[in-house]
Structure 1
Amino acid sequence: MDQDTTTQDLLLTWALRLAIGAGVFAFGFYLSWWFDIRLYQRHPWSALFFLLLFVCAITYGGVQLLGNWYLYLVARRSAINKVDLPGVSIDVLVTAYNEPYSMIEKTLKAACAMNREHTTWLLDDYQDPKLAKLAETIGAGYLTRPDRTNAKAGNLNAALRRTTGDIVVIFDVDHVPAVDFLECSLGYFNDPKIGFVQVMLTFANIKESWVADAAIETSLEFYNPTSLGAYSIGGATLMGSNALIRRSALDSIGGYQPGLAEDLATSINLHAAGWKSAYVAEPLAPGLAPPTFTAWYIQQMKWARGVFELLVSGYPKLFSRLTWGQKLSYAVRMTKYWIGPVVAAHMFATIAILIFGDAASRAAFHTYLIHITPLVACDAVIRYLGLYKWRHDTLPSTSLLRAVTLVYATWPIYLSAWLMALFRIDKSFQPTPKSKHLRLHPLWLAPQFFAILLLLIGLLYTVLVKDHRPSILLIFAILQGVLQLSFLIQWMSADIIARRTEQAKIAVLTDDNGDF
């Protein structure tokens, strides 16, 4: 490391510390609004209502803001542990369910080609005879099962009963491992207390679509500074693919845990059983981000519903058996999707104030926005600096505008997932589609269209009827509308492309067959 790099890193470190210090003061300034006694005296139900909102605000802010900022501060990038483990047997398990043949072939070949002696298995939950032949041709084993109980977790557990490797390596079928994947990750198991090693998830389909690029940007923060910080305090978690798990650790908890967030359920149970974890922040097996709005919605609903289920059930049960670092790491990860209810609450509060608010409520909300604005600004700066400092050199830039737009406009999915978890409404497992041409039905976007319409009505009513003067309330409403409108414009653009692709395919079939 040259002197210029060292100086830049030192400046970034201090800039991040100063920004977090300012953020803590901004958080305190934001909380001060909630101590205005007038909020609790306007109506008989005001005290209970605002007290509930205050608890939600301090919980979300304390975990997702202060918690994440703390992880940024303690993040460390350690050297790769390349210590060999002679005599240790390895089973590489590649899970598949009706993915494209070429994708499975590419990943299987890469898995078989990894340095270090191992056995690669294709776990085909679609029971495709062609894949059995493919695995045999490549030199991989082929495993299937008579039923599909418990989805991916069931598929893995069925394979565990038929294999014997001391270390189990798990890949989703779209993640293609580098030849040195095992060399860069096995050494951590030299510590007998290490139960699993998670290798960073990265994505290869940059520039494939607006959704893919935005989805990749949404992942950068978690897989870089947040996960590095979690590892530093003993709370690195499993992430589904690119994972190495000690078989004896899995046996100690009864195997891979079922659920929509099966990786997180397995992770927290391993930690609760006393096993430690490690995190390798290197792009050793890039995969594919959701390429379409349909794929993004399906993935986010599955993840959010599964994570929320653990938040309201598994996490409280295992809380006392976790270290403080693990408690914080899981709290940060499990409350990530609360952004949906938070966005919805602020948006519909804005609409209600614009249309129905009297002078007193408009003044109170105006003051609220003044108190929250410095906090939002500080958080944006902190996240930018944290990502700029800890982002791996090979990953995309730290611009997060697309990520903000995508996550903000996905609020109906996250809100629905939270309500489903609270009311115990089941959601079946559904793999994330890999097709580039799936179209999202407009009905899925009805909440965004409805919200934009109400915001527009509220803005026009406020400007033309109530008060035409510019205010922070109007600016806040416009920003909310612009973010969702940007999302819808991208959806319309993608839908036009998908429709043209479908028409082109139909035209080709018509030309080939004479008629359709």
Structure 2
Amino acid sequence: MTTLDTRSSELPFPAGPPPAQTTTIQGDPQAAARRRDANAAAHSPSLMLIMMLATLGAVAYGVFLLDPDHRGDWLPYVLVIVAECLLLGLALLAMWTVLSSGYNPRDFAYHHARDRMFDAPEILRTGATDDPTRWRLYLHDRPVAVDIFITTCGEDVDTIARTVRAAMAVHGEHRTWVLDDGRDDEVRDLAATLGARYVRRLSSGGQKAGNINHALSIAKGELFVVLDADFVPKPDLLVETVPFFVRDDVAFVQSPQTYGNMHTLISRGAGYMQAVFYRFVQPGRNRFNAAFCVGTNVVFRREAIDDIGGMYTDSKSEDVWTSLQLHERGWRSVYIPQTLAVGDTPETIVAYAKQQLRWATGGFEILLQHNPLSPRRRLTVDQRLQYFVTSTHYLSGIAPLLLLLVPPLQIYLDLAPMRLDVSVGTWLLYYLGFYGLQIALAFFTLGSFRWEVLLLSAVSWPIYVKAFWNALTGKQQAWSVTGRTGGATSPFEVIVPQVLCFVFLLITSVVGVWKHGGDDGLPGLAVAWNITNTVILGGFLVTALREHRAAVREQRAARRPARATRPVRTTRTTRKVARTDRQTVTTGGAA
């Protein structure tokens, strides 16, 4: 249980309730330890050393590739240069960001505001010492009203229930709202049962952002939290974030997306892909005032959102666009690498593809429609670079497609990307100088080499090609929610390009072994490279086959007729009740 320390503050200036009423929260010591561990991970001298070595390796590899003396045939060479320059450039910018991660946003003002966030005499007077959800939150000598928004759109009711219960139990006085774009009466009844407020709007315009904007027309809190339906908040969510708003220019405080369902290959790969970003990259963006919102586990200042006319509704990636507009208006953002809510990452290929398509399309939209490097953008130089990295990040997902084409060009047409007098040893020396150190970074940051990340990175290029085309042509795709309920879908409906690519690579590997199996040097390297790509794609298709079989079983179970039951004798009373039920219509509204 959280305890109260009613010792008065000796600070000479007010930043909360009067000094005699100052409350210090003596929270869970394990939470404090987790905060220290999260900060220490990003500031580790060992990480800094590996990062600098990886930077040197990347530069050396780039010099090797661009040396005219090593240039081979123009077509495969151009493919390699374009792909590797994309990967090298984005890797260097990411490492520069991580090297800048020594900034700690928890400064004196934060700690002072946190110490004075609760009024101990008031809590004792109201008899709420054992119920932290009733403790009024204070900032700047006055109470601050907080709303927690849980956005839903067809998720499983049990999933929503877990999140609502946890949100109701968050420490600090607040109001919990269920924003139901799924228009589900069962969700409405759940909210009423648990004591949460319920909002159902008449249209779905603007998707999630429109849902939040509609709720803001009803709720009047000065701060509001956004939680996806599958992200279960921890009790200290507000205690850890609200004190940052003691600074009047802070627009939002973001915490990481942490996942609790990493039990399939896809969920592990998707989760690990995000881990480095949340543990190391986002903290580095704090130094440049460029940490951006990720759509959930975030606390906003209502005044800031009002200043930009509401959450951005013209993109499926409303979170990044909203962050960009706030930074252009001069607002500040804060990111804390501390888990304050645990949610679900995509567990299937279909769910992963839909999520990545939405995220990548939003990033490419920023690049093509609102280029951060444009002098018209009211951003600092650092912010321009950080948002440029964000908008171009998914181009690195297209690079594997270009590299997949290089070995077949050499196997079928004898077109080599590098000169044939370059020895395999020399090539591997520079190649491993970059990629080997990247693997070393993965070992340090994730604890081991996560092959699931390699697999997803190598096979996701059709998603990013489609996302770039969508952004280029302005094509809209349907909104998709991670964890949304519905019938199982076969993954082979969305991975046709990967299947065709696997067949092509498999044939190419056979041809390569037959044609170049006994050769030394680069031809043999091309065959080995192609076989590696074939094995990676084959592993992905094995996973897809397993998911397909599971989907077929689920569909068969859904079509199986219900077990026959004993007929019920119909009476005049039961016929009357049936007619009444058919005539009942339930409408939703704000509670």
TM over 0.5: yes
Q: 2:241 aligns with which of 177, 180, 185?
A: 185
What's the secondary structure of 2:239's corresponding residue? Answer: coil
What's the secondary structure of 1:184's corresponding residue? Answer: helix
Deviations 1:306-353 (A, max 9, x none): 221112112345873222322232222222211332111111233233
Question: What is the TM-score normalised by the length of structure 1?
Answer: 0.86
Deviations 1:235-273 (A, max 9, x none): 211101011111111111111001111101101111111
Q: What amino acid does structure 2 have at the position aligned with 1:225? A: F
Which whole-Å CA distance do the structure 1 matches of 2:67 and 2:389 have between them?
24
1:73 aligned to 2:99?
Answer: yes
Q: What amino acid does structure 1 have at the position aligned with 2:45? A: L
Shift of 1:129: 2.6
What's the secondary structure of 1:458's corresponding residue? Answer: helix
Q: 2:88 aligns with which of 37, 54, 61?
A: 61
1:387-466 aligned at under 5 Å gives the runs 397-435=447-485, 438-465=488-515
Q: Which moved more, 1:493-502 or 1:414-423?
A: 493-502
What's the secondary structure of 1:315's corresponding residue? Answer: coil
Contact kept, 8 Å, 2:103 with 2:286, in 1: the verdict is no
Relative distance call for 1:94 and 1:100 in structure 2 (3 A) is same
Deviations 1:266-287 (A, max 9, x none): 0111111111111111111011
What's the secondary structure of 1:337's corresponding residue? Answer: helix
Q: How many correspondences in the alignment? A: 493
Q: 1:329 aligns with which of 379, 382, 386?
A: 386
Relative distance call for 1:399 and 1:466 in structure 2 (3 A) is closer
Q: What amino acid does structure 1 have at the position aligned with 2:328? A: A
Which whole-Å CA distance do the structure 1 matches of 2:281 and 2:424 have between them?
28
1:231-270 aligned at under 5 Å gives the runs 231-258=286-313, 259-270=315-326
Which whole-Å CA distance do the structure 2 matches of 1:153 and 1:375 have between them?
46
Structure 2 residue ranges without an equivalent (≥5): 1-32, 118-137, 567-591
Which whole-Å CA distance do the structure 1 matches of 2:251 and 2:424 have between them?
46
Match of 2:399 in 1: 342
Q: What amino acid does structure 1 have at the position aligned with 2:148? A: V
Which whole-Å CA distance do the structure 2 matches of 1:482 and 1:454 have between them?
12
Relative distance call for 1:293 and 1:441 in structure 2 (3 A) is closer
Relative distance call for 1:297 and 1:484 in structure 2 (3 A) is same
Contact kept, 8 Å, 2:72 with 2:416, in 1: the verdict is no
Which whole-Å CA distance do the structure 2 matches of 1:266 and 1:375 have between them?
41
What's the secondary structure of 1:26's corresponding residue? Answer: helix
Which whole-Å CA distance do the structure 1 matches of 2:236 and 2:363 have between them?
32
Shift of 1:299: 1.0
Deviations 1:433-485 (A, max 9, x none): 44598332424222112112222222332332466425211111111111111
Relative distance call for 1:68 and 1:474 in structure 2 (3 A) is same
Deviations 1:9-52 (A, max 9, x none): 4344323322322332223223335x767766xxxxx8xx9779
Q: 1:158 aligns with which of 214, 221, 228?
A: 214
Which whole-Å CA distance do the structure 1 matches of 2:565 and 2:409 have between them?
58
| Percent identity of paired positions between Structure 1 and Structure 2 | 26
Shift of 1:499: 3.0
Contact kept, 8 Å, 2:443 with 2:449, in 1: the verdict is no
Relative distance call for 1:511 and 1:144 in structure 2 (3 A) is closer
Match of 1:25 in 2: 60
Shift of 1:113: 1.0
1:65-464 aligned at under 5 Å gives the runs 65-76=91-102, 78=104, 81=110, 83=114, 84=117, 85-86=138-139, 87-207=143-263, 209-258=264-313, 259-316=315-372, 320-355=377-412, 357-358=413-414, 361=416, 364=419, 377-384=432-439, 386=441, 397-435=447-485, 438-464=488-514
Match of 1:480 in 2: 533
What's the secondary structure of 2:234's corresponding residue? Answer: coil
Which whole-Å CA distance do the structure 2 matches of 1:312 and 1:365 have between them?
39
Q: Which has the higher helix share?
A: 1
Structure 1 residue ranges without an equivalent (≥5): 41-45, 392-396
What's the secondary structure of 1:490's corresponding residue? Answer: helix
Contact kept, 8 Å, 1:292 with 1:439, in 2: the verdict is no
Q: Which moved more, 1:233-242 or 1:170-179?
A: 233-242
Q: Which moved more, 1:75-84 or 1:492-501?
A: 75-84
Relative distance call for 1:39 and 1:481 in structure 2 (3 A) is closer
Contact kept, 8 Å, 1:240 with 1:262, in 2: the verdict is yes
Contact kept, 8 Å, 2:442 with 2:450, in 1: the verdict is no
Question: What is the TM-score normalised by the length of structure 2?
Answer: 0.76
What's the secondary structure of 1:263's corresponding residue? Answer: helix
Larger Rg: 2
Q: Which moved more, 1:460-469 or 1:301-310?
A: 460-469
